Amino acid sequence: MNIQLNGRPVLTAARTLTELLREQQIDVACVATAYNGTFVPKSRYDSQQLEEGCQLEVLSPMQGG
């Protein structure tokens, strides 16, 4: 299916948010995500189903100053 990940098109076979993060080699423990503009808590990553055309934002904290 085609989705948007951080503003770029991605073709994926993943069906859940956890599957997508693993597929994209993103460390689940170090990110915050939004699905179609709504925050998704880590406890819902396994159950959050992806849909054609959905928009995901995956953010990781930055350190420094």
Spans of all domains in the chain: 2-59
Instruction: Read off the pLDDT band of 65 (50, 70, 90).
Output: low
- Report the amino acid identity of residue 12: T
Summarize pLDDT for 13-43 with one digit per residue, the tens.
Answer: 999 999 999 999 999 988 999 999 999 999 9
- Specify the fold of 2-59: Ubiquitin-like (UB roll) (3.10.20)
pTM: 0.89
**Any residues with CB less than 8 A from the CB of 3 and at least 6 apart, and which?**
9, 10, 12, 20, 50, 52, 53, 54, 55, 56
In whole angstroms, what is the distance from residue 7 CA to residue 63 CA?
23
% of the chain at pLDDT higher than 70: 94
